[in-house]
Amino acid sequence: MRNQIKIGLFGYGCVGQGLHHVLNETRGMKADIVKIAIKSKNKTRSLPDSYFTFDHEEILTHPDVNLIVELIDDAQAAYELTTKALKSGKNVVTANKKMLATHLQELVALQREYGTALLYEGSVCGSIPIIRNLEEYYDNELLHSVSGIFNGSSNYILSKIFNENQSYSDALSKAQELGFAETDPTLDVGGFDPLYKLCILTAHAYGVFIDPETAFNYGIQTLSDFDVQFAREKDLRIKLICRTYKLNNQELTLYVMPQFVRRSSPFFTVDNEYNAVQVEAAFADKQFFQGKGAGGNPTGAAVLSDISANSYGYQYEYRKIGQESNLTYSTNASIEVYVRYTDEADLELLQFEDVKERYYGRDVNYVIGTVTLSTLLKNKEALRRANLFMVATPQ
């Protein structure tokens, strides 16, 4: 039986407004926004002033509010709000992937201790219900890997470059204009945002909690015309790909970095702000999910799905935590990469195990060879500063 939902909403930006819109368009669920906490006193808003408050405690202690929906940008503030709400007996819906990836193990323990529920489908891949699928459909399945395009902003930029011959800077500007990328796009194009999402999915796919600081992510901001031309000549495209996968029965690994994808890959034609996830399993084989990953309405729809699930008393069970108790995180993996560079000193950061191909040009060079994930992780800060671009070769 459905419960009447009275929402205390934190944040009324792009996603908060998207949620308000989809709530108004939904006919099958009884959910009302009682109060909205905001931080800016100078913005003009579409709702009456009576809806808004600047006092967080007014919502957290409001007797009518039985669900907290947290949609703010500040990960630390989101963590404090979420933990307070869970401890006070209120369920929480959030879309803050950095907060979740950083504190998920603690938040799972809090739910169990206080008998509350934390739902966060909107934190990963926008409109794709991948967390719920991992929790329910794949709850007893042996998963080989989960991979995909988890960031709509970077995928939009790469699509414009390859489909419309736009420059990186022009594509980024358009993404910012449309609200797909922030004024400072580092979280998206640097691969941090998709890493947070990958860490969250790894907990649901394998029952292993990964600190994002201990994982490797590398972005697209040093992409050059040479790299684009190289890909086109090979009939390849470049996508920012996330991968979490088993190395063996005792170890798993994960990373985020650009990858060449072949025309035969399902990721080849995933364009613009769309996300995609491919799950490879022992019994179900390969399954592919695709949907919009950026924008207020797609994320708002995922948040709405969590609100609806909460009205039925749904909560994540995290079954894989018990099933995969012997599985540990490892960086003992080898990856074949293409590296375009100008300075041989930068190339030394990669410590290639073997080299498959080398090219020396007047202005630019590249090498294709095998590197270890542990080396990439050890040198990740230097690699981000170096004058090079790195892409994993096709899987």
Residue 2: per-residue pLDDT = 65
Report residue 360 CA to chain centroid gap. 37
The predicted model gives 62-88 an average pLDDT of 94
Q: Is the pLDDT of residue 238 over 90?
A: yes
Q: Which helix (H) or strand (E) holds 134?
A: helix 130-136
Residue 103: per-residue pLDDT = 98
Residue 235: per-residue pLDDT = 97
Q: Is the pLDDT of residue 279 over 80?
A: yes
User: Which pTM was predicted?
Assistant: 0.94
Q: Is the pLDDT of residue 212 over 70?
A: yes
Pairwise CA distance, residues 380 & 384, whole Å: 6
The predicted model gives 325-352 an average pLDDT of 95
Domain with CATH 3.40.50.720 in the chain: 5-132+296-322
Of 159 and 11, the one with more pLDDT: 159
The predicted model gives 52-65 an average pLDDT of 90
Active site residue 197: yes
Residue 1: per-residue pLDDT = 56
Catalytic residue (choose from 35, 197, 292, 320): 197
The predicted model gives 161-179 an average pLDDT of 92
Q: Which of 342, 385, 392, 345 is nearest to 370 (CA)?
A: 392
CA torsion sign, 253 to 258 to 264 to 265? positive
Tokens 């808004």 — which residue? 52
Domain with CATH 3.30.360.10 in the chain: 142-291+326-392
User: CATH homologous superfamily for 142-291+326-392?
Assistant: Dihydrodipicolinate Reductase; domain 2 (3.30.360.10)
Tokens 């970095």 — which residue? 257
The predicted model gives 132-152 an average pLDDT of 95
Residue 294: per-residue pLDDT = 74
Residue spans of alpha helices (H) in 75-117: 75-87, 97-114
Confidence of residue 351 (pLDDT cuts 50, 70, 90): very high
Residue 91: per-residue pLDDT = 96
Residue 127: per-residue pLDDT = 87
The predicted model gives 122-148 an average pLDDT of 94
Q: What would the CATH number be for the domain defined by 5-132+296-322? A: 3.40.50.720
Average pLDDT taken over every residue of the chain: 92
Which region among 39-43, 177-181, 289-293, 334-338 has the lowest average model confidence (pLDDT)?
Answer: 39-43
The predicted model gives 352-375 an average pLDDT of 96
Pairwise CA distance, residues 217 & 222, whole Å: 14
Of 44 and 152, the one with more pLDDT: 152
